[in-house]
A and B are shown apart, each in its own frame.
Chain A
């Protein structure tokens, strides 16, 4: 009897353990998976369902219209304009932010005195909310009281003063400048991390050979940052395609859709024009565009992954 119980005990415990280890993954994953299903996957699918409706979002007035919204989207000039603006934003983010960020990273890397303090100060814009940055620069650009026009006037450059955010030709450029101001510090720190692995001996050897700082920068440091550069391009492009905050806060996409992005157009369609169905069509189209471009760029960058 005693022997049997002694034997039965471990078996039962082993079984319990086997059961718990079979269930364990499910239990550990359940909270995260449930949250992702409810707040990420379901909304994603639901967005496509809503894109087939004509609905103002209130009550039982939703009407199934099939692909009508998608046909409308294909002919919607504002949507294509805003998609174009997203691409412009991506292009200028890469062309403006990354070169400045690389130069700043090299400067910080070289400057022995006070580089720590500089790094802290350079990083500040990244810690402000987009609303704070947006409202700040709305006042900086203010045509009557803003410092930009005041300074131009102080130098007698009256012809240069502009309604920076109100002029359809300037609005997008003005906001892109602010987007750059806020995001350059991020890429700067990214490149700084890349430079940290630049071999110091190489630097010293090149100097001894009489190479100038500029030669060292072009011939040695820039090639060293190639991998980081690709990561940065990827992040800048994907970030730009889904951009919303500063544009919405500073111009609302205006004037006359001049600075409209896919996300701001989607937002206004849903929450200002109350076209939930068509707004969801824009959102779904945005998802397709971003996913496709992200997939392509990941595929391209993976080919170079060994260098990162």
Chain B
């Protein structure tokens, strides 16, 4: 037994595990510590020095700014987008998985092919379109592109899911005289709950952190989402490193809190989403 506990594998595993723990967490520790320092300290003391005192003035300053406006915009945009994604993609998935019509196969392939389209190609036309529609520089400008770019993967996940719903349930409902709309709403939508959860988690996280569309389609801080708070504050505070890192901490906090509550689900949702993507 003792000889095995000394084998290279036995030693390497904890060493590697701790090494990567340091690689992952040291940047976070750097951010939190520095955000609690004064600007003076960051110039005078070495980076690894602990903050001289817990100085929350940076956080106060950020919170008194537009932070909550960014947060509110993010919450509104993401919840509306995810709601529309869930409804439209589950409806489409039901038709593709269960209704028999000639174009089902090709249409499914076409929608799924949308997954490899690099988003940046649509950027300029979507920007022009948003301008023409009068939505430019409103949070609502983001909903259309967010929903559309999330649809291919969502339809894919939900179609796979709905194909596995047993036929008997559907047949029983048909005999009871239910039409396709009732069958979808009473049977398929509720039964797809785990699939819907995956779709909501995956897209919710991706969109919550989305940068480029938010950056291009909005311009004033009142209308921007959380990832852009850091960008805007960076311009505003340019040299005030602790304040910028306080923004980094604050904007990352909401997702980390959500993650702390439902981490297993979130890891699995992210995996299912990206694996299909």
Contacts and interface: CB of A to CB of B under 8 A. Distances in A.
B interface secondary structure, majority? helix
B239 to A, nearest CB: 10
Nearest to B28: A124
Given A140-B30, A147-B47, A131 B148 contact: no
Contacts of A190: 271, 274-275
A108 interface: yes
A118 interface: yes
Contacts of B36: none
Nearest to B247: A135
A36 B148 contact: yes
Contacts of A212: 7-9
A136 B212 contact: no
Contacts of B114: 36, 40
Given A241-B118, A291-B116, A108 B270 contact: no
A50 interface: yes
Interface string A136-178: 1101101001110011001000000000000000000000000
B92 A150 contact: no
Interface string A87-119: 000000000000010011001101100000011
Contacts of A151: 47-48
Contacts, number: 263
Given A39-B122, A47-B121, A286-B118, A132 B248 contact: yes
Interface residues of B, number: 93
Interface stretch (A1-9, A22-30, A74-82, A197-205): A22-30
A69 interface: no
Interface stretch (B55-63, B99-107, B165-173, B191-199): B99-107
Given A20-B179, A29-B95, A32-B88, A286 B13 contact: no
Interface of A: 17, 20-21, 24-25, 27-29, 31-33, 35-36, 38-40, 42-44, 46-47, 50, 57, 100, 103-104, 107-108, 110-111, 118-132, 135-137, 139-140, 142, 145-147, 150-151, 154, 181, 185-186, 189-190, 193, 212-214, 216-217, 231, 235, 238, 241-242, 244-245, 248-249, 263, 266-267, 270-271, 276, 279-280, 283-284, 286-287, 290-291, 294
